[in-house]
Amino acid sequence: MFADLTRETRSLIHQEIELAKTELSQNASRLVPSLTMIVAGGLIAYGGILAIVAGAVLGLIAIGLVAWAAALIGGLVIAVIGYALVRAGMASFRPHDLKPRQTIETLKEDARWLRTQTR
């Protein structure tokens, strides 16, 4: 009976490992298209922001500001906006969404089953 319990436990652990691999793979594969679009959009937006900043700096120079001061003001404004975006992104980032919830639940069930079998 102990040999059967050991064999079943070993089989159960192997199945749980496979389930965890599958679930993590599915979670990751759902993120890849979104992350690709975010990166592509970010790169394109970055080019647009550079053009806007250049235009703002040239506008400040045109109204009489010294070139270095105009560039400094433009850089500071963009740095503050970038910092705010990074903070917002970090606040909304939820790594727990990648957690293999189904595997965790089945592991809890398995632990309960194992406890009843060893009594």
Q: Is 40 helix (H, G, I), strand (E, B) or coil?
A: helix
Domain definitions of the chain by residue range: 2-118
Per-residue pLDDT tens for 14-37?
888 888 788 878 877 877 888 889
Per-residue pLDDT tens for 36-45?
898 899 899 9
Q: Is the pTM of this model over 0.75?
A: no
Per-residue pLDDT tens for 55-114?
999 999 999 999 999 999 999 998 999 899 889 888 887 766 667 777 778 878 877 877
Contact present, 47 and 68 (Cβ < 8 Å):
no
- What's 55-69 look like in SS3? HHHHHHHHCCCCHHH
For residue 69, which of 57, 53, 81, 56 has the smallest C-alpha distance?
57
